Amino acid sequence: MSEAVAFVGCGRITRAVVGGLVSGGAAPDTIRGVSRTGAGARALGAEFGIRAATSVREAVDGADVVVLAVHPHETPDALRTLAGVLAGSGPVLVSLVASCRTEAVAAALPGVAVVRAVPNVAVAARHGVTVLSRGPHCPPEALTAARELFAPLGEVLTAEEDLMETVSALSGAGPALIAHFARALARAGVGQGLSADTAGALAAHAVRGTGALLTAPGATPDAVVDRVASPGGMTEAALRTLDDRALPRTVQQALDAAVRLSLGRLLAGPESPSVRS
């Protein structure tokens, strides 16, 4: 990555993206960060060697790509600040803000090319997936710039804006949901007498190995299940128990709850403390 990138907001997802970029060979001096209090940017500077800016103007000056990664309730004020420092023909604006459509960002930043991106935290290990959605009047080269930013961090897909809340719930929250299941699996192993370390390692490697199987060319979840579950065997007994306890329905309800919350915030959008310009 040779482009200069500025991150406005330096929370968890910014840390994951920056960590992945730097571990993948990006020069830290091409990356800048700014945060509302300054603490987040300084922490990333100390950890990864990026430049911690003291204002949004300083962070975005000369940047090829500006990544907006603030909390939803901070977004209105952050957009007002960016509107005062971004020229219409300036950098591509990549929004990582949850529950914020590209139309809203583009309306606040006239003339700026806007792309929405939903990465998950696995980008930190460069095994993530990022889904992109073009904003209104966004030229193809802006989408290309966003794709090139995230390509070193894993797979990059595209989706229509109307599906991005579902993408956020499935992909963005997915690692936490899978980790939650792995934790439950490990605790079940402890309940059967395994040590916590052994059970945790077995559960973690089950997730890691299954991910490798599922991402192999032509693989499907059904095919992976069939490779493991012999008729009348212990795996089949475990799967039947999960189905009897309505696991698929519970997962659907969990996804529905996440999407509803995201759509609810989409309609809200309270004001926030100011971001320094």
CA distance 216 to 151: 18
Task: Tell me the per-residue pLDDT of 34-85, one tens digit each, with 9 for 90 and over.
Answer: 999 999 999 999 999 999 999 999 999 999 999 999 999 999 999 999 999 9
HSE of 27, CA atoms in CB hemisphere, 13 A: 6
- The yes-or-no verdict on residue 95 having pLDDT over 90 is yes
The predicted structure's pLDDT at residue 273:
37
- Over the chain, what HEC string results? CCCCEEEECCCHHHHHHHHHHHHCCCCHHHEEEECCCCHHHHHHHHHHCCEECCCHHHHHCCCCEEEECCCHHHHHHHHHHHHCCCCCCCCEEEECCCCCCHHHHHHHCCCCCEEEEEECHHHHHCCEEEEEEECCCCCHHHHHHHHHHHHHHEEEEECCHHHHHHHHHHHHCHHHHHHHHHHHHHHHHHHCCCCHHHHHHHHHHHHHHHHHHHCCCCCCHHHHHHHHCCCCCHHHHHHHHHHHCCHHHHHHHHHHHHHHHHHHHHHCCCCCCCCCC
Work out the pLDDT band at 94, boundaries 50, 70, 90: very high
Task: Tell me the per-residue pLDDT of 103-115, one tens digit each, with 9 for 90 and over.
Answer: 999 999 999 999 9
Residues 63-85: b if buried by 16+ CB within 10 A, e if exposed: bbbbbbbbebebbbbbbebbeeb
The predicted structure's pLDDT at residue 266:
80
- Of the two residues 275 and 183, the one the predictor is more confident about is 183
- Of the two residues 73 and 193, the one the predictor is more confident about is 193
The predicted structure's pLDDT at residue 270:
39
The predicted structure's pLDDT at residue 271:
41
Work out the pLDDT band at 3, boundaries 50, 70, 90: confident
Q: Which of 88-92, 140-144, 168-172, 233-237 has the lowest mean pLDDT?
A: 88-92
- Of the two residues 3 and 249, the one the predictor is more confident about is 249
- The yes-or-no verdict on residue 257 having pLDDT over 80 is yes
Work out the pLDDT band at 184, boundaries 50, 70, 90: very high
The predicted structure's pLDDT at residue 88:
64
Residues 8-38: b if buried by 16+ CB within 10 A, e if exposed: bbbeebbbbbbbbbbeeebeeebbbbbbbeb
For residues 218, 219, 221 and 222, what is the CA-based torsion angle, rounded to 10 degrees? 70
The predicted structure's pLDDT at residue 265:
84
Q: By the 8 A CB rule, do 162 and 81 touch?
A: no
Mean pLDDT across 216-243: 96
The predicted structure's pLDDT at residue 101:
93
Joined tokens for residue 85: 């420092």
Joined tokens for residue 144: 């290309």
Task: Tell me the per-residue pLDDT of 130-168, one tens digit each, with 9 for 90 and over.
Answer: 999 999 989 999 999 999 999 999 999 999 999 999 999
The predicted structure's pLDDT at residue 90:
82
The predicted structure's pLDDT at residue 153:
97
CA distance 51 to 41: 8
Task: Tell me the per-residue pLDDT of 202-226, one tens digit each, with 9 for 90 and over.
Answer: 999 999 999 999 999 999 999 999 9
